[in-house]
Amino acid sequence: MARSTRPPGWLGFTWLVLSKDLHIERKSGEIVTTSGFFALLVAVMASVAFSTGENRAAVAPGVIWISMAFASVLAISRSWHREREEGALTGLLVSPVPRGAIFTGKALGVTLFLFAVEGLVIPVAALLFALDLTRIGGGLLGIALAATPGVAASGTLFGAMTVRTQARDLVLASVLFPLLSPTLLAAVAATRELIVGAGLGELGDYFVLMAIFDLIFWAGGISLFGLLLEG
Amino acid sequence: MIRQVEVLRVSRIYGATPALRGISATFLPHTITLIEGPNGSGKSTLLGLLSTAIRPTTGQILWHPFGSSPELARPHIGWLSHESLVYPDLSGIENLTWSARLHGLTPEALDPLTDRLHLGSFARRPVRTMSRGQRQRIAIARALLSRPSLLLLDEPTTGLDREGITLLVRIIREEAERGAIVAIIAHDLELGTLLGATSLRLERGQQISPSISPHVEGS
Q: Quick check: A13 contacting B, CB < 8 Å? A: yes
Nearest CB neighbour to B88, from listed A2, A13, A86:
A86
Confidence band for B216, pLDDT divided at 50, 70 and 90: very low
Q: Find the distance separating the first CA and the last CA of chain A, reported in whole Å.
A: 35
pLDDT at A39 over 80: yes
The better pLDDT of the pair A169, A150 is held by A150
Q: In a 10 Å sphere around its CB, with 0-12 CB exposed, 13-18 middle and 19+ buried, how is residue B57 labelled?
A: middle
Overall average pLDDT of the A119-148 stretch: 93
Q: Quick check: A165 contacting B, CB < 8 Å? A: no
Domain assignment present for B214 = no
The better pLDDT of the pair B155, A57 is held by B155
pLDDT at B187 over 90: no
At B183, which CATH number?
3.40.50.300
Domain assignment present for A5 = no
Separation of alpha carbons A94 and B142, rounded Å: 12
Report the number of distinct structural domains present in chain A: 1
Report the number of distinct structural domains present in chain B: 1
Cβ A37 vs Cβ A125: under 8 Å: no
The verdict on whether omega for the bond into residue B214 sits within 30 degrees of 0, i.e. cis, is no
Reported ipTM: 0.87
Q: Quick check: A26 contacting B, CB < 8 Å? A: no
Overall average pLDDT of the A140-157 stretch: 94
pLDDT at B219 (0 to 100):
39
Rounded to two decimals, the pTM is 0.90
Residue numbers in A near B117 (CB within 8 A): none
Cβ A39 vs Cβ A117: under 8 Å: yes
Domain assignment present for B212 = no
Domain assignment present for B190 = yes
Per-residue model confidence as pLDDT tens digits over B145-157: 999 999 999 999 9
Domain assignment present for B23 = yes
Separation of alpha carbons B134 and B124, rounded Å: 11
Q: Report the gap between the CA of A52 and the closest CA in chain B (Å).
A: 45
Residue type, A50: F
Per-residue model confidence as pLDDT tens digits over B24-61: 999 999 999 999 999 999 999 999 999 999 999 999 99
pLDDT at A187 over 50: yes
Residue type, A129: F
pLDDT at A141 over 80: yes
Show the domain range for B99: 4-207
Domain assignment present for A210 = yes
Domain assignment present for A199 = yes
Q: In a 10 Å sphere around its CB, with 0-12 CB exposed, 13-18 middle and 19+ buried, how is residue B85 labelled?
A: buried
Residue numbers in B near A82 (CB within 8 A): 87, 89
Domain assignment present for B213 = no
Residue type, A110: V
Q: Report the gap between the CA of A148 and the closest CA in chain B (Å).
A: 26
Overall average pLDDT of the A66-88 stretch: 92
Domain assignment present for A148 = yes
Nearest to B105 by CA among A10, A12, A102, A6: A6
Domain assignment present for A190 = yes
The per-residue b/e assignment along B201-214, b for 16 or more CB within 10 angstroms, e otherwise, is bbeebebeeeeebe
Overall average pLDDT of the A92-120 stretch: 95
Domain assignment present for A135 = yes
The phi and psi torsions of B41 (rounded to 5 degrees) equal -85, -10
Chain B's closest residue to A8, CA to CA, is B104
Residues of B engaging A, defined by a Cβ cutoff of 8 Å: 51-53, 55, 71, 74-75, 77, 79, 81, 83-90, 94, 98-99, 101-106, 108-110, 112-113, 127, 135, 142, 145-147
Nearest to A103 by CA among A146, A148, A156, A151: A156
Domain assignment present for A198 = yes
Overall average pLDDT of the B98-108 stretch: 91
